[in-house]
Structure 1
Amino acid sequence: MSHVGGGPRAVTRSVAFLTAGVLAVPALTGCSSDDPAGRPLAGPDIAGAARARIADGGTLRWAVDTVPETLNAFQADADATTARVAQAVLPALFRTDAAGRPVRDADYLESAEVVGTEPKQVVLYKLNQQAVWSTGREIGAADFAAQWRALSGRDSAYWTARNAGYDRIEKIERGDNDLEVKVTFSRPYADWRSLFTPLYPKDVMGTPDAFNDRARRTLKVTAGPFAVREVDRDEDRVVLTRNPRWWGEPAKLSSIELRAVPRGKRIAALTAGTLDLAEVDPDTAREVGRAGPPPHAADGTNPLAGPGSAPLSGPGSAPLPGPAGRTAAEALRSWAVLHGSDEEAAYEETLARAERRAAWARTERRRAALRGFEVRKSLEPAYTQLALNGAGGPLADERVRRAVARAVDREKLAEAVLGPLGLPTEPLGSHLALAGQPVYADGSGALGEPDVKEARALLADAGWVPGGPVRESKRTEKAAGAERADEDSPGGDDGTYIVGEEDDDKNDSGDSGKGDGGADPHDRKSAEKREGERQSGERAGAQGGGAPGAYAPQGTAAPGGPAAAPLAKDGKPLTLRFVLPSGPGSGTLRTVAERIDAMLARIGIRTEISKVSDESYFKDHIASGAYDLALYSWPASPFPATDARPIYAKPVPAADGSLNVEQNYTRVGTDQVDQLFEQAAGTLDEKEARTLLRKADSRIWAAAGSLPLYQRPQLTVARDGLANAGAFGFAAPVYEDMGFLKKGAQGPGPRRGSGSPAA
């Protein structure tokens, strides 16, 4: 994850989402044209096929980020692989469909409904009579009660990461028979469907020792289509095998191996044939997409032919990508040297040709290996946001936060990230849901459309005026920096660089009467020139044929505009520290940050972009509040009243004098938003709950603590012939339906849970 909320609490919410949404279900019907929730922007891309077309047996080798530290999804160090294991081996009473909406899982539940509201809310669960644990014992009220007691927060001996919802339960009882479970709540809880997913057996939840320790390394009792055979830390894998006591459709695969492979090494693993399914970055997706019929060598010869081959000339001599790529002129010179009178030069050219042939052969072997795969793409049930830290500094002033938000063009950012991938480029309009989910409605009107003049007016009202001073040390550092090479960023070895220094120097005189909004006309001409060069570069990149999976043509500059004079207040310039991760998978975030920087420069705000290690990014900067601006992601949830509340809760002083921010790392919150979340969680009227949450979202927009940008792309490489797996989008995997097509069974077919939403 390119920073989907790091840190224990962020991981907790991520796992909570993943374990709540794990099964594809039939297509939706009932999204009307006047429903603000609309439809999902992209559906799953999983090469859906009917079970009859899939062979029995086989092992799916699936890349994951880690071998999990724990198999207990309710512990603080649970991660995405913990959730994936739970999806395949444990009950989930409600799971999300292809539009991110919770639906009953018929393999476990015959029905579940609120059967009473006075004096207390009562939910009656009727279980599938075939549902049993791998020991043969029926799933029942004892398992529900054990999980409630462990997660209620009443017993501190249980090391739990979350108890939302479980703390509202008053009692759990057996119904009229062993297949009925009656849950009584002490106070109304709208998100009751979020509970008991995943459901662990009483063997795990029954005692603190079993919960805290024994469930970390193994799960001996399960109830899903697969069971845990081993967690092998030496081989970096988790092996799941068919559960012989599974009562539903039998699993097509014999086993699933979840292999921990770093994202940077997945292309090599795919090429080596040791993976069948892997989520990848855009560069890897692009390489897989480009693997096609072997091209001719660019030096005009068959790269595997002997040194006497004739050169290629004419229109077909354009250079090709890869280690052997050469222009027609270079190829002609090579042929001339090889056949010339200088024997030493001819000998050297013979050796050089041999090296090129070897390099070309290696490239072709790699391409040949990748021709057995395809890229499947969708949008993740997660979104990327721009976070504005309101705890101190200039952004503590709501007017400055709103000015930053009004200067950012979210449509252009979404287009830059998603457009080259061929995915919908719609910017996100809600903090609490994604398009297609019931709560979704575009609340960005509470903030207003991008407007440079309005942004400048807000800054002026806050006392920030053009022509502010620039620290002498910055100009000194700039002069020194001109003498040293910069490989990754304009800022040297510490990973920090200052963007827009040229404008700072030009406007250091403090003259605010130049041009529009105080901008120097020379700066404006320079910016316009740079913008023209940028557009020319983008046209050149487009003519070069950008491949699927590319985020933007390499070297593309951020969209610019006339830079305003730098702003100052009380003798201090308006400069914001923009913190970004520096890892290899963070290129997209850095591209987005550069574009945001250019947008902010138009209203006179300068940014200091600091690139920090992935390991310290969240813990040492986001969670601790050591930033002004940052980019990170949150997963979407079918239960925003519960899961989104801690992200936007108003920080409160703790007993030890510190500030309790829960998961609100922007430190921006209001009492009114808190009250709306509380009311939404406590009403059983779904329409009223949606209205309350949409009001809360509007107020979150108005406070401008965070700016949702776009739904994250999801790129997965899958082996040809692998069915019902890939880029799942909202739709959760149907593990028992995954498998490899039978010989001669080509192309997709109808299947349960293909997940295409209907209008």
Structure 2
Amino acid sequence: MRNTTRAAAFVVAAVTGSMLLTACGGSTDDSADKPKKQVTADHASEINPQPADKVKQGGQLRLSVANWITQFNGNQVQGGLGDRTTMTKPMLPSVWDVDAQGAFTPDKDYIESAVSGDKGGKQVLTYKINPKAKWSDGTALSYRDFEAMWKANGLGDEKYLIVDPTGYEDIESVKAGANDQEVVVTMKKQTSQWQAMFWQLLPAKFIDTPEKFNKAWVEKVPATAGPYKVGSIDKASQTVTLVPDEKWWGEKPKLDKIIFRALDRVAAVDAYLNRELDAVSAGNADYYKRTKKTPGTEFRIGAPWDMTHIVFGANGNMADVKVRQAIQLAINTKTLADIPANGMPVDYKTLGNHFYMGNQKGYQDNSGKYGKGDIAAAGKVLDEAGWKAKNPGEIRTKDGKPLVVNFLETAGASATIKSQDAASQAMLKQAGIDMKINNVPENDYFDKYITAGNFEMVSYRSTSYTGLASDFFASYRDPKGKQLFQNNGKIVTPGGEAKFREALTAKTPEEAVKLQQEVDKLVWDAGHTLPTYQTPAVWAVQKKVANYGSPGMASVDWTKVGFMK
């Protein structure tokens, strides 16, 4: 999941990766007695980098994803999942390559250059497409693909069920330049974060109407333009197989096949132990302990933009901002972070910011009083809001109704996730809040609940591969009717959208960071989302696998991924 369809935040199911938490008891793993890795900007990526001549030609790389993907259009509202990104990156074009620190350079296989300039007082973006780049039907990549993406995402047509219009809605025009392979994008508004747009390109002919945009990519990929293409999509076996594309114009890929199987994380670890997978997320102490006993295994740890958080929904009693604020006051995020860190080879750091990771330039702790586990302060806020209890520890009531909030958990959640959710439940009970844990089928978790805004409290991860503030605008802007963007909880942050727009149009990075801190403080007070910790990416990988593992924020070069000679 290291590459995104565009610079938007992606949600990852609560049963994946490091969200598979360990129990609160003492560690039984000897790693607890060893110094833990500190994932910093200097230690942000581990992939066993090897030159192409050290990687053998051939072989099958067997990987897993947590969810069966039904929507392969990453711009469509149901397509914003990291697992979809994982599977589409080897076969769809990217504008940008990103390094482990988040620096951008054009992906030369597709884009020869991409620059921002000024013309007549307006910001103009110019992209020069590699003339060799073609879609699988033989059509050359062109300005039409950029134009179609703008029209779908930026013109406000509600028939296009989009993830995020950020940036696109501020475009005035998309036209051909000297030829069809030169794209000239004229902006209505200045933006310092223009790289967030056109992240992963899609062919115009398959997104240029709402019908095609929403449905042409359901359980199929109608066109590709990458080193790999779809070999088969087998719903019965929950398997997607990619094979080399003989029409690929770039460096010949090393692998014969990339095989993705949809497996829950317990099954994925079992499959790795049975030598059925070549890599697997080892994001909790149990998985770490089990996988490290597998011969040939090494652990690759990276620092992606990956935030585990509790997301609030504006339903039921959670519609009251005071209830949300009280929950933020009552929950001690250090307690939650210590659970997954127990028995792991890396520390889990709490977060006091919704937009920056602790090791990222621009990080500032704006949490203030929230996230410290202050039960007394939570009680005071609830008292002021009319939620009363006769005795400490009793469930509070208002107008004769108990203060109940419903928390979503997947039916397949591990015992370790249940341990963390139980910890939150216990902390809230001390404040007089009855947090009821409701199990839902894993396959329904996102489509029927999260992206539909049908929840009161839930915990999942959001990931980004650039760290640009614009990645997250969709998660904090005000919903419009049925269009939630990525603000799944439908929480309105007073003044937040306007301030965020100021940050997006800032003329300097320093000004943008300053404004983003102001947005962050508003988000905290709105009780929108409670960040808990940065989730380090811990992967168990067979040592022979080259150029793959835990790249952090960096792009994966799928032409170089393979097995060492």
Q: Tell me the TM-score range normalised by the shorter chain.
A: 0.7 to 0.9
- In the aligned structure 1, how far is the partner of 2:385 from the partner of 2:156? 47
After TM superposition, list the pairs within 5 Å mapping 1:437-452 onto structure 2.
437-445=360-368, 447=370, 449-452=372-375
- In the aligned structure 1, how far is the partner of 2:458 from the partner of 2:181? 49
Q: Is the 8 A contact 1:389 1:627 kept in 2?
A: yes
Cα offset, 1:256, TM superposition:
1.6
Q: Which residue of 2 aligns with 1:287?
A: 290
SS at match of 1:718: strand
- In the aligned structure 2, how far is the partner of 1:233 from the partner of 1:394? 38
SS at match of 1:200: coil
Change (3 A) 1:701 1:170: same
- Mapped pair 1:241 → 2:243: yes
The structure with the largest helix share of the pair is 1
Q: Which residue of 2 aligns with 1:722?
A: 545
Unaligned ranges ≥5, structure 1 = 2-11, 17-37, 292-369, 469-563, 743-759
SS at match of 1:634: strand
Cα offset, 1:161, TM superposition:
5.0
- In the aligned structure 1, how far is the partner of 2:399 from the partner of 2:214? 55
Q: Is the 8 A contact 1:70 1:217 kept in 2?
A: yes
Q: Which residue of 2 aligns with 1:44?
A: 45
Q: Which residue of 2 aligns with 1:331?
A: none
Change (3 A) 1:572 1:47: farther
Change (3 A) 1:467 1:620: farther
Amino acid corresponding to residue 127 of structure 2 in structure 1: Y
Change (3 A) 1:660 1:129: closer
Change (3 A) 1:101 1:466: farther
Q: Which residue of 2 aligns with 1:636?
A: 464
Cα offset, 1:595, TM superposition:
2.0
SS at match of 2:368: helix
- In the aligned structure 2, how far is the partner of 1:239 from the partner of 1:147? 27
The structure with the largest strand share of the pair is 2
Cα offset, 1:218, TM superposition:
5.1
- Mapped pair 1:387 → 2:311: yes
Structure with the bigger RCO (C-alpha within 8 Å, sep 6+) is 2
Cα offset, 1:673, TM superposition:
0.7
Amino acid corresponding to residue 287 of structure 1 in structure 2: R
- Mapped pair 1:168 → 2:170: yes
Aligned residues: 531
Q: Which residue of 2 aligns with 1:589?
A: 417
Q: Is the 8 A contact 1:15 1:73 kept in 2?
A: no
Cα offset, 1:432, TM superposition:
2.1
After TM superposition, list the pairs within 5 Å mapping 1:663-674 onto structure 2.
663-674=486-497
- Mapped pair 1:688 → 2:511: yes
- In the aligned structure 2, how far is the partner of 1:624 from the partner of 1:182? 36
Change (3 A) 1:386 1:208: closer
Q: Is the 8 A contact 1:648 1:664 kept in 2?
A: yes
Amino acid corresponding to residue 431 of structure 1 in structure 2: H
Q: Which residue of 2 aligns with 1:348?
A: none
- In the aligned structure 2, how far is the partner of 1:251 from the partner of 1:620? 38
Q: Is the 8 A contact 2:333 2:372 kept in 1?
A: no
- In the aligned structure 2, how far is the partner of 1:570 from the partner of 1:151? 44
Q: 1:579 aligns with which of 407, 427, 448?
A: 407
- In the aligned structure 2, how far is the partner of 1:150 from the partner of 1:667? 23
SS at match of 1:287: helix
Q: Which residue of 2 aligns with 1:58?
A: 59
Change (3 A) 1:459 1:576: same
Q: What is the alpha-carbon root mean square deviation over aligned residues?
A: 3.7
Change (3 A) 1:567 1:272: closer
Amino acid corresponding to residue 696 of structure 1 in structure 2: V
Cα offset, 1:183, TM superposition:
0.9
Q: Which residue of 2 aligns with 1:406?
A: 329
Cα offset, 1:684, TM superposition:
4.2
Q: Is the 8 A contact 1:40 1:434 kept in 2?
A: no
Q: 1:112 aligns with which of 100, 104, 114?
A: 114
Q: 1:185 aligns with which of 184, 187, 203?
A: 187
After TM superposition, list the pairs within 5 Å mapping 1:606-645 onto structure 2.
606-615=434-443, 617=445, 628-636=456-464, 638=466, 641-645=469-473
Cα offset, 1:680, TM superposition:
2.2
- In the aligned structure 2, how far is the partner of 1:578 from the partner of 1:198? 37
After TM superposition, list the pairs within 5 Å mapping 1:493-532 onto structure 2.
none
Cα offset, 1:721, TM superposition:
0.8
SS at match of 2:173: strand
- In the aligned structure 1, how far is the partner of 2:231 from the partner of 2:447? 34
Deviations 1:2-34 (A, max 9, x none): xxxxxxxxxx95289xxxxxxxxxxxxxxxxxx
SS at match of 1:584: coil
Change (3 A) 1:252 1:408: same
Q: 2:341 aligns with which of 397, 404, 418?
A: 418
Deviations 1:557-592 (A, max 9, x none): xxxxxxx44264557586433423143334343222
Q: Is the 8 A contact 1:59 1:254 kept in 2?
A: yes
Identity %: 28
TM-score by length of 2: 0.81
Cα offset, 1:627, TM superposition:
5.6
- In the aligned structure 1, how far is the partner of 2:422 from the partner of 2:351? 20
- In the aligned structure 2, how far is the partner of 1:627 from the partner of 1:71? 25
- In the aligned structure 2, how far is the partner of 1:280 from the partner of 1:395? 37
Cα offset, 1:610, TM superposition:
3.7
Structure number, greater radius of gyration: 1
Q: Which residue of 1 aligns with 2:475?
A: 647
Deviations 1:616-657 (A, max 9, x none): 5556665677765432332236365544233223456x4xxx
Change (3 A) 1:199 1:624: closer
Q: Which shows bigger deviation, 202-211 or 262-271?
A: 202-211
Q: Which residue of 1 aligns with 2:557?
A: 734
After TM superposition, list the pairs within 5 Å mapping 1:521-600 onto structure 2.
564-566=392-394, 568=396, 572=400, 575-600=403-428
Change (3 A) 1:65 1:194: same
After TM superposition, list the pairs within 5 Å mapping 1:104-503 onto structure 2.
104-116=106-118, 118-128=120-130, 130-134=132-136, 138-153=140-155, 162-177=164-179, 179-205=181-207, 211=213, 215-216=217-218, 219=221, 221-279=223-281, 282=284, 283-289=286-292, 291=293, 370-378=294-302, 381-389=305-313, 391-393=315-317, 396-398=320-322, 400-445=323-368, 447=370, 449-464=372-387, 466-468=389-391
